[in-house]
């Protein structure tokens, strides 16, 4: 599991550790890891031209001490001081190692710029002088390595309301921070390299599944399993206008762990489903979960059936697409909704661009207000539970932005629910497998939703091995 902690949690853990260590030990651990990461990023140290952008506080100290280590290994290290309160001991160490204080004129010739402007306590945005130096580096295509987090982002939310650093690499210490996982800030981090400095941190409010976690959560049948114990999913999807949605959602569901699927819908759509998947059973019956909404609208939704399914309190339900706006969440029961930003915008009457800018915030808000699980689809999918816990999906491909992709996800999620995976974890696993299948299917270029669904069994096999 990749865990992301808040600024308060990190500072508390740092204070507890520093109380047990000699003064300066923690900063030296961070500086050592940072220097190694910069050297690896450059592919060399001797002769490399490194410019440090130094603000006040410990973040600048980390950069200065790392610069001293690089200078001792033959790098040309120059510090550009953006504050009158630069870390004095770190600056002295840099100069003693052969580094020097320079100016912004040194930036265009640099091989790398190190962002030591502000630390995790910084507010969104950059002061004019800092912004000018960052802009100069960008204009000359000089890569930036961020210390802990890119300066100017909101560390605890992943929001970027003001100008900020766009890093080619972020080197962080002790644990990941929320901005490393949540867009739009996550996109500004580049790859994130974690340096272990010995922090003892509590449970994290934001997490990302890794393959081992998916393997642990995935319901694998055993010698005593049958089609009923593996899980039966009821699917209400597709319409005369969008019959393909039912076929695609069915394909996604059958690529999951369930033992049987029951389709409920118009005869014409049912025939289309059976033509592709003759193993599907048509008509209502005993199920362990429902997936509803794909390919439906207010005009094509069987409201009586929809309310009966979504208002029961003992079965989990995934509600997708046209079902989301029709959902009466006051009596929802065990519900997972799967909106993209546009659908969430319509649901809560907030502009889409505002939701994209504050993805974690709005996913959590809707989950808490409506007491359900929200899977907010996007380049980094956010899954939020009513208690504020969140999973962020760490993998994605732009090729997943194709018609029917969400239907595959809804079917797969329903299959996991039918297999007994709890709603919050099932949504995270479904998002992970769906994105991994998209990556596999798109290895050679554009994909369709059915390509993604077809890749799910192979992706799952690779993870479960």
Tell me the binding residues for AMP. 377-381, 406
100-101 and 76-81: which strand pairing?
Answer: parallel
Element (H, E) at 425: helix 423-441
CB 304 within 8 A of CB 321: no
d(CA 412, CA 409): 5
What sign for the dihedral angle of Cα 308, 313, 317, 321? Answer: positive
Give the SS3 label for residue 296: coil
Coil/strand/helix, residue 412: helix
Under 8 Å CB-to-CB from 76, ≥6 apart: which residues?
Answer: 47, 48, 49, 50
DSSP-assigned beta bridge partners for residue 382: 376, 392
Give the CA distances from residue 319 to residues 188, 396, 443, in Å, rounded to whole numbers and listed in that order. 32, 22, 30
Instruction: Return the H-helix or E-strand segment holding 391.
Output: strand 390-392
Which residues fall in the annotated binding site? 58-62, 115, 119-125, 148, 151, 245, 295, 340, 377-381, 406-407
For the chain, count helices (H), then strands (E): 16, 19
Ranges of beta strands (E only) in 58-130 are 76-81, 100-101, 112-116
Ramachandran quadrant class, 171 (left: phi over 0; alpha: psi -120 to 50; beta: rest): beta
- For 146-171, the three-class secondary structure string (H helix, E strand, C coil) is EECCCCCCCCCCCCCCCCCCCCCEEE
DSSP H/E element including 213: helix 211-217
Binding-site entries for K(+): 59, 115, 151
Alpha-carbon span 188 to 184, nearest angstrom = 7
Q: What is the maximal distance between C-alpha atoms in the chain?
A: 81
Peptide bond before residue 184 is cis, with ω within 30 degrees of 0: yes
Spatial separation of the C-alpha atoms in residues 357 and 43, rounded to whole Å: 35
Q: How far, in Å, CA of 140 to CA of 47, rounded?
A: 20
Contacts of 229 (CB under 8 A, 6+ apart): 221, 259
Pick out the residues of the known binding site for (6S)-NADPHX: 58-62, 119-125, 148, 245, 295, 340, 407
């Amino acid at each position: 599991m990749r865990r992301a902690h808040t600024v308060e949690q990190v500072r508390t853990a740092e204070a507890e550790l520093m109380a047990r260590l000699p003064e300066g030990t923690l900063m030296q651990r961070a500086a050592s890891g940072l220097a190694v990461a910069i050297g690896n990023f450059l592919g060399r140290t001797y002769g490399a031209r490194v410019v440090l952008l130094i603000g006040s506080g410990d973040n600048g100290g980390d950069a200065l001490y790392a610069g001293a280590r690089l200078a001792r290994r033959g790098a040309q290290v120059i510090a550009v001081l953006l504050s009158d309160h630069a870390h004095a001991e770190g600056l002295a160490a840099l100069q003693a190692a052969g580094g020097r204080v320079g100016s912004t004129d040194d930036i265009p010739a640099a091989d790398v710029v190190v962002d030591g402007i502000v630390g995790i306590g910084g507010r969104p945005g950059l002061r004019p002088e800092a912004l000018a130096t960052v802009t100069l580096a960008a204009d000359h295509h000089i890569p930036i390595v961020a210390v802990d987090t890119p300066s100017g982002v909101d560390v605890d939310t992943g929001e970027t309301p003001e100008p900020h650093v766009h890093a080619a690499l972020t080197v962080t210490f002790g644990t990941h921070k929320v901005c490393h996982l949540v867009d739009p800030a996550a996109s500004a981090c580049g790859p994130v390299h974690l340096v272990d400095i010995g922090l003892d941190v509590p449970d994290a409010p934001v997490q990302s599944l890794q393959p081992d976690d998916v393997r642990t959560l995935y319901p694998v049948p055993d010698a005593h399993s049958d089609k009923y114990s593996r899980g039966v999913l009821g699917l209400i999807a597709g319409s005369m206008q969008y019959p393909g949605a039912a076929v695609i959602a069915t394909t996604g569901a059958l690529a999951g762990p369930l033992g049987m699927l029951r389709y409920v819908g118009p005869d014409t759509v049912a025939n289309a489903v059976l033509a592709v998947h003759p193993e599907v059973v048509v008509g209502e019956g005993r199920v362990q979960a429902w997936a509803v909404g794909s390919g439906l609208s207010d005009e094509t939704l069987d409201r009586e059936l929809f309310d009966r399914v979504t208002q029961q309190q003992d079965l989990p339900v995934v509600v997708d697409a046209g079902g989301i706006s029709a959902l009466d969440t006051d009596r929802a029961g065990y519900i997972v909704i799967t909106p993209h930003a546009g659908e969430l915008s319509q649901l809560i009457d907030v502009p889409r661009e505002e939701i994209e800018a504050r993805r974690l915030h709005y996913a959590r808000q809707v989950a808490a207000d409506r007491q359900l699980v929200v899977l907010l689809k996007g380049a980094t999918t956010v899954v939020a539970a009513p208690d504020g816990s969140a999973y962020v999906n760490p993998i994605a491909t732009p090729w997943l932005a194709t018609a029917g992709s969400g239907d595959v996800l809804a079917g797969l999620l329903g299959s996991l629910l039918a297999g007994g995976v709890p709603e919050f974890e099932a949504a995270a696993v479904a998002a992970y497998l769906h994105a991994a299948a998209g990556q596999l299917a798109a290895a050679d270029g554009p994909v369709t939703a059915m390509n993604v669904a077809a890749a799910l069994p192979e992706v799952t096999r690779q993870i479960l091995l």
